[in-house]
Chains A and B, each alone.
Chain A
Amino acid sequence: MTAIDPTAHLTAKQIEELGRELDAIRDEVIASRGEKDAAYIRKVISAQRKLELVSRGVLLFSFFPPAWIIGTAGLSVAKIMDNMEIGHNILHGQWDWMRDPKIHSTTWEWDHVSPADQWKHSHNELHHTYTNVIGKDNDLGYGIMRVDEDQRWHPFHLGQPLWNFINACFFEYGIAAYDLELGKNLRKRRRNNPEFRARARAVGRKIRKQVLKDYVIHPLLSGPSFLTTLAATFTANLVRNIWSHSVIMCGHFPEGVQVFERRSIKGETRGQWYLRQMMGSANISGSKAMHFMSGNLSHQIEHHLFPDLPSNRYAEVAVKVRALFEKYELEYVTGPLPKQVFSAWRKVVRLSLPNKKPKVKTPDREQELLAA
């Protein structure tokens, strides 16, 4: 909650109109989804698999330095593709309309230690429904950081630049712990809760398989290249983790992004929900390659407005969405990757220290709606 509400100039009626205009954008894409889009995701999946195969093949000879470099780079890119453009988006149901059981949110599994179904719950359901609502959306700081002036400061937060860095390096484990709500569940002594245990076991199984694959089987297959392949896979995972952490930090942390109070979403209308997504997300500007490697999460604003539209359409949607931002005089937070990453990190550092509580001015839309 910033001291000044950047949407204060909008009337309830305007907000509903904005909602209708956004619905129209969505409908347009849905009506035009087709063969080209299906061909796109199939091509990406097939390219990812081939790249991974070739890279792993090259790494069999990783004792030879050029092979190490090429294999590691290829594997890093393959892992990023698997998580970002493919996994994240398929698990959002973006490609369910194709009715291909192999490319479907209910069957997809990814190269990540968090099992797909647990991630779908914490991400699709909690984060996307309660975007940036303090106390409801745990993506705000992942439960380990303070990301808004209004959150209470605790000496623990002094270390948050360090936590954030560690989280970036081992991001997939961070996500798995987060999906399990590990901290909360352990604190509340739910260790023995059967439901929690079952989920923890599922994560354990997934971790075991992933670790076995990356750090035992593939190095063993490389024979004399055992150690160098091990190092290569570790590096690829590190690169993937830092990359996805950076992209994701840019989605909701940079300066200019709003957070919301719990009570502000009570009785939220469709228009208000849209508005919250618009004000609570930030984009990354850049080249086509940049958008692709970020899984099109560089179009975070569009993704949050329409999480189930195919990712390859966000770029064209962005033009229309941005026009609406201008029409309604709202700030479209965007910038190149380094700038956004820096901005997010600066916030992390700044909020590791206590601040004076600012005067909060929250909009009283309920009143306005009643009057309308």
Chain B
Amino acid sequence: MTSTALRSRAWKLLEMVTTPLLPSDYLDLVSPLRAGADLRGRIEAVHPETGDAATIVIRPGRGWRGHTAGQYVRIGVDVDGVRLWRAYSVTSPTNSQDGRVAITVKAIPDGKVSNHLVRRAKPGTLIQLDQATGDFVLPRAKPAKVLYLTAGSGITPVMGMLRDTEFDDVVMVHSAPRPQDVIFRDELHALVADQKLRLTEVHTDTDGMLDIARLYELVPDWAERETWACGPAGLLDAAEKHWAEHGVHERLHTERFRPGIVVAGEGGEVTFSGTGKTVDADGATPLLDVGEEAGVLMPSGCRMGICFGCVTPLRAGAVRDLRTGEITEAEPGVLIQTCVSAAAGPCDIER
């Protein structure tokens, strides 16, 4: 018998020993970062960067496959006991010797996860991890000239690139409200001092928003540069338009952090993506009824919120709990009780 066959036999036996749990449920108690476990990470350090940004150093589990500069990673963090998932750019270089990865997080107003990470996260905490992904990365072939156009926390994926790959001719135009809000400012200035980077800081509190037309003056050869841009939607929209108008859109690579913003309202169009049905719903009718009326086979039980026999994944949009008024937004893994939830805007129910 081969060793893999032996191992799988042994594993089967172990499963019989631990049924109805799995051996991994016990192993997780002692070794949550081992190879073969669900991917997790342990926070090892939290370094403040600015007043509202911090770098979180994470020791990933053995299953971590590494990242490419510019990519992001989704992490699941328990905030007030609730597991929430968010994506953050990896800011550590790809060749870090100690096997740790870092993300840099800027606390956004009312941001549950970002504020938690920046202000409350403690070394030693376990978090959930996904493998790094994203195609906002550098090409294999080195471009001769590079422009990084960033604003606010849009600097984070670019910092990963800057720390990872040296180019002969790099310009960065970075916007932040005030000098002290520039994340990684010391490091950027050190690069400038070493003549590895030319940097223009735009301080929007005093200079106003960056007008994309000013690029001519800040970076006269912008059109010849391979450009990576990351920041708020306004900046990226303007850049995309500008690059397209000048017929050089293939040189521009952009990264948008929050593609869909959920607007919670009263009622909306409900899609049952399993069956492909779409109907209008008001803000007071339980989604269970909405689905049944549309002829969708909905699981149900008590119809009053106590049996949890109707829980169904919410794939997109937002719903309102009819008992408490609480809004739940779609996130991977979010399940809702359809008998006590109504549409709070357009939403997509996996049925």
- Chain A interface (Cβ < 8 Å from any Cβ of B): 23, 26-27, 30, 33-39, 46, 49-50, 53, 92-93, 96-102, 104-106, 109-111, 120-121, 124-125, 128-129, 206, 209-210, 212-213, 217-218, 221, 273, 307-308
Contact = CB atoms under 8 A, between A and B. Distances in A.
Given A38-B78, A99-B83, A217-B17, A308 B29 contact: no
A129 B83 contact: no
Contacts of B11: none
A204 to B, nearest CB: 14
Contacts of B81: 33-39, 97-98
Nearest to A95: B81
Interface majority SS (helix, strand, loop, mixed), chain A: helix
Nearest to B331: A99
A35 B78 contact: yes
B302 A125 contact: yes
A125 B301 contact: yes
Nearest to A39: B81
The SS class assigned to the B binding surface is: loop
Nearest to A218: B17
B283 interface: no
Interface stretch (B230-238, B286-294, B307-315): B307-315
A129 B301 contact: yes
Nearest to A128: B306
Nearest to A277: B306
B128 to A, nearest CB: 9
B334 interface: yes
Interface in B310-328: 311, 323-324, 326
Given A96-B335, A98-B83, A49 B78 contact: no
Q: 6 closest Cβ contacts across the A-B interface? A: A38-B81, A93-B308, A125-B301, A124-B307, A109-B20, A125-B307
19 contacts: A26-B323, A33-B80, A37-B81, A38-B78, A38-B81, A46-B29, A50-B29, A53-B26, A96-B308, A97-B81, A99-B333, A106-B308, A120-B307, A120-B308, A124-B307, A129-B301, A129-B304, A213-B18, A217-B16
Given A33-B81, A97-B82, A121-B309, A209 B304 contact: no
B84 interface: yes
Interface residues of B, number: 32
Given A50-B29, A98-B83, A93 B311 contact: yes
Contacts of B306: 124, 128-129, 307-308
A210 B19 contact: yes
A120 B18 CA distance: 22
Contacts of A34: 80-81
Nearest to A273: B304
A53 to B, nearest CB: 6
A307 B302 CA distance: 12
A53 B337 CA distance: 35
Contacts of A35: 78, 80-81
Contacts of B78: 35, 38, 98, 100
Contacts of B311: 93, 96, 105-106
Contacts of B308: 92-93, 96, 105-106, 120, 124, 308
A209 B16 contact: yes
B205 interface: no
Contacts of A33: 80-81
Given A23-B323, A49-B29, A209-B16, A99 B82 contact: yes
A101 B29 contact: no
Contacts of A212: 16, 19
Contact of A209 (B19, B80, B323): B19
Given A96-B311, A105-B308, A105-B311, A213 B82 contact: no
Contacts of A273: 304
A110 B19 CA distance: 9
